């Protein structure tokens, strides 16, 4: 049995709306629909997501197709960036680089990378314990915490080089539910 960790795809960026309330864009919604063609979805028996709207939007699409409930877990949320709120793209990338390169320091008031990693690992362990024992688990969450989880599962130091590829999200990796062995690196949600 596997756990599939999926990052939400493209969102509607609106500086006037709190980041946790951003929705999936039309492209993001279409990409989540493409996830439904994955052959491994037939084995999913539980779907968990962050409580952030963009992750919930994605989970609702999958759960409607699989006739499963959406299980929201706040601890699956993205690293807490509320101290800065929205940042323009170039500035955000610089701060995100610092977040990963200085994992024990709070960069501009953000949650530290080490704290976010601990939180996401604990949340995944909780999901593992709560989820039904048959079938695989799907988690829909966010890029930075996915990178932190990926580092933890592989025994890597926190480093942004393990972040999902591309811009806009919509990637996944999978790992063994019991041993935590990672089966493959990040893949776009459209790729098998």
Torsion of CA 4, 42, 184, 32, to 10 degrees: -60
pLDDT of residue 132: 72
pLDDT of residue 134: 84
Which helix H or strand E contains 27, and what residues bound it? Answer: helix 26-35
User: How far is Cα of residue 78 from the mean position of the Cα atoms in its chain?
Assistant: 7
The mean of the pLDDT values for the chain is 96
**pTM attached to this predicted model:** 0.96
Q: What domain range includes position 137?
A: 2-188
Specify the number of domains making up the chain.
1
pLDDT of residue 167: 80
Q: Could you give the percent of the chain with pLDDT greater than 90?
A: 93
- Per-residue pLDDT tens over the stretch 98-142: 999 999 999 999 999 999 999 999 999 999 998 877 899 999 999
Question: Pairing relation of β-strands 2-7 and 44-49?
Answer: unpaired
Question: Other C-beta atoms within 10 Å of 26: how many?
Answer: 10
Is residue 156 over pLDDT 80?
A: yes
Question: What CATH number should be reported for the domain holding residue 179?
Answer: 3.40.50.1240
Say how far apart CA 28 and CA 12 lie, in whole Å.
9
Buried b or exposed e, range 90-126, using 16+ CB within 10 angstroms? eeeeeebebbbeebeeebeebbbbebbbebbbebbee
Q: What is the 3-state secondary structure (H, E, C) of 36-98?
A: CCCHHHHHEEEEEECCCHHHHHHHHHHHHHHCCCEEECHHHCCCCCCCCCCCCHHHHHHHHHH
- Per-residue pLDDT tens over the stretch 4-41: 999 999 999 999 999 999 999 999 999 999 999 999 99
- Per-residue pLDDT tens over the stretch 53-98: 999 999 999 999 999 999 999 999 999 999 999 999 999 999 999 9
Q: Is residue 75 packed enough to be buried (19+ CB in 10 Å), middle (13-18) or exposed (0-12)?
A: middle
């Amino acid at each position: 049995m596997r756990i599939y960790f999926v990052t939400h795809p493209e969102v509607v960026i609106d500086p006037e709306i709190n980041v946790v309330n951003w929705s999936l864009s039309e492209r993001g919604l279409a990409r989540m629909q493409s996830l439904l063609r994955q052959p491994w979805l037939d084995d999913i028996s539980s779907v968990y997501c962050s409580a952030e709207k963009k992750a919930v939007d994605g989970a609702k699409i999958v759960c409607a197709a699989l006739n499963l409930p959406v299980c929201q877990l706040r601890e699956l949320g993205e690293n807490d960036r509320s101290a800065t709120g929205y940042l323009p793209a170039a500035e955000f990338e610089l701060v995100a680089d610092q977040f990963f390169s200085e994992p024990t320091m709070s960069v501009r008031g953000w949650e530290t990378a080490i704290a976010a990693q601990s939180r996401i690992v604990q949340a995944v362990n909780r999901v593992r314990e709560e989820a039904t024992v048959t079938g695989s688990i799907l988690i829909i969450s966010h890029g930075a915490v996915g990178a932190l989880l990926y580092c933890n599962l592989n025994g890597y130091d926190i480093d942004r080089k393990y972040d999902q590829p591309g811009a806009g999200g919509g990637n996944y990796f999978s790992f063994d539910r019991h041993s935590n062995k990672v089966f493959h690196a990040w893949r776009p949600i459209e790729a098998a």
